[in-house]
Structure 1
Amino acid sequence: MIKHIPNLITCSNLLCGCLGIVFAFQGNLEWSVYSIWAAMVFDFLDGFTARMLKVSSDIGKQLDSLADMVTFGLLPAVFLFHLFSDDAGYLAYLSFLVAVFSAFRLAKFNVDDSQSDSFVGMPTPANALFISSLLFVFQIYPELKSDELLAVFSVMCSFWLIMPVRLLALKFSGFDFKLNLFRYLLILTSIVLFIIFGRMSFPLIILSYLILSIVNNLTISNNIIGK
């Protein structure tokens, strides 16, 4: 039974995704957002629990990707679709590019052994976090919301998922400050932004994540050249 505990937590992630889709179609977008955020907690806990219990399986790996596809692929696309106005027409269907490229991103991750300590392209949970937090930005600044901007976000977030850029993973091999400098900076930046901006901080945190990852890549490249 112990070896199935992580899979049970993964299924809780999937259940959050299903409920979030229901909430979106009911027009309850705030609870749809909370479903994504709850799923992110379960997504962290399943891997943490598997490592703690020292259990893993190919089924668990595939189940995790299938759950992520629903929760961090399809649900954000449905959520984004419902952010568009009734007058958006076919423009709103660009939101489903997020689901398509999430599937491609997850499939690629499963067969790419080079992503053990970093990611190539935006992880689907981070992408879903950015998309879901737009609701609170638009609640405070409604003048920013437009179908054209949402269309841009749909394309941009889809590109993020498959862009050939290596991004930080919060996986520490020891706690050496110099080796983990940009990971510590990301954690510190995220905490400061959340304290200042609350729920509105998440888009800024994702942008900070991108910037710090790119700077980290440049630093590594310069160090290699210097040697």
Structure 2
Amino acid sequence: MKYLPNLITLLNVLFGSIAAVFAVLNRLEWAAVFFMLGVLCDFADGLVARKLGVQSELGIQLDSLADMITSGLVPGLVMCQLLAMSVNAGWNADSFFAEALAQGGWWGAWFPFAGLLITLSSAVRLARFNIDENQVNSFIGLPTPANALWILSLPLILMYNGSEFTNSLILNPWFLSGLTLLSAYLLNAPIELFALKFDNYSFRDNSLKYIFIVLSLVMVLTLQFLAIPLIVLFYVLTSLFSKKAS
């Protein structure tokens, strides 16, 4: 039983690796599916380790490496694909990485790789998290799974939940460039964000978390995939205002 948490973490590595392959193949909806499976494993491995009392240094390091794939590499690859689509109008190639260089010119061929800035910033964020002993009941900077979630929601909005306005916005290269820079900043920003961890389940001690969860569920039910980037923004703003109020 003591190896169960690490096995779950390895499932996170597996699902994240599959998501990365789908992202390279421009099958972004499947990349999102396997990303979510990886995130579920990321949540479950720590929970199982605490329940069994088998937390270990190996498990901590393995968890961070798994996050680097699932929540670091995958969103960077997805952003590369989105940037490629935004600068190659009407282009419907199966894979940006196989076809981009044939498009000719720096803008169409190399600019989309700017999406990997998200991967680089995720690596820095995870390394800082590993050596920071204060990020237990809160986070400094946006956690990599939350950051990855809003990046991977963009192609899902395009496919299932978009409008003419949202689709044109998401496929605007300047909007995506700004989003990439914002993502890189938020991952390592010196801002404290609350963690959705419960020492007890009383409403008085966890009112902010309960309100956040309920409002997030309402947004998902009403806005579907469009709710995801709004929830991440709501999470950041709620954390900032709660700290100012206290």
After TM superposition, is the score higher than 0.5? yes
The one-letter code of the counterpart of 1:177 is F
Q: Deviations over 1:97-139 (max 9, x none)?
A: 1111101100111111110100000000000001000112233
Of stretches 173-182 and 118-127 in structure 1, the one that deviates more from structure 2 is 173-182
What SS does structure 1 have at the residue aligned with 2:3? Answer: helix
What SS does structure 2 have at the residue aligned with 1:167? Answer: strand
1:24 aligns with 2:50: no
Residue 165 of structure 1, CA deviation:
0.4
1:188 aligns with 2:206: no
Of stretches 140-149 and 51-60 in structure 1, the one that deviates more from structure 2 is 140-149
The one-letter code of the counterpart of 1:132 is L
1:119 aligns with 2:117: no
1:198 aligns with 2:224: yes
Q: Which residue of 2 aligns with 1:134?
A: 154
> Percent sequence identity over matched residues?
38
Cα distance in 2 for residues equivalent to 1:17 and 1:177:
35
**Among 125, 130, 155, the residue aligned to 2:181:** 155
Cα distance in 1 for residues equivalent to 2:45 and 2:201:
23
- In 2, are the aligned partners of 1:120 and 1:165 still within 8 Å (CA)? yes
The one-letter code of the counterpart of 1:168 is F
The one-letter code of the counterpart of 2:190 is P
The one-letter code of the counterpart of 1:138 is L
Cα distance in 2 for residues equivalent to 1:30 and 1:22:
12
Q: Which residue of 1 aligns with 2:47?
A: 48
Cα distance in 2 for residues equivalent to 1:163 and 1:185:
24
Cα distance in 1 for residues equivalent to 2:131 and 2:55:
17
What SS does structure 2 have at the residue aligned with 1:170? Answer: coil
Q: Which consecutive residues of structure 2, in runs of 5 or more, have no partner in the other structure?
A: 89-106
The one-letter code of the counterpart of 1:29 is L
Cα distance in 2 for residues equivalent to 1:167 and 1:174:
19
- In 2, are the aligned partners of 1:94 and 1:155 still within 8 Å (CA)? no
Map 1:1-227 onto structure 2 (within 5 A). 2-84=1-83, 85=85, 87=88, 88-89=107-108, 90-139=110-159, 140-141=162-163, 142-144=167-169, 145-220=171-246
Cα distance in 2 for residues equivalent to 1:175 and 1:17:
32
Cα distance in 1 for residues equivalent to 2:186 and 2:193:
11
Residue 215 of structure 1, CA deviation:
1.4
Cα distance in 2 for residues equivalent to 1:137 and 1:160:
22
Cα distance in 2 for residues equivalent to 1:18 and 1:33:
12
RMSD: 1.3
Residue 179 of structure 1, CA deviation:
2.5
What SS does structure 2 have at the residue aligned with 1:173? Answer: coil
- In 2, are the aligned partners of 1:20 and 1:33 still within 8 Å (CA)? yes
Q: Which consecutive residues of structure 1, in runs of 5 or more, have no partner in the other structure?
A: 221-227
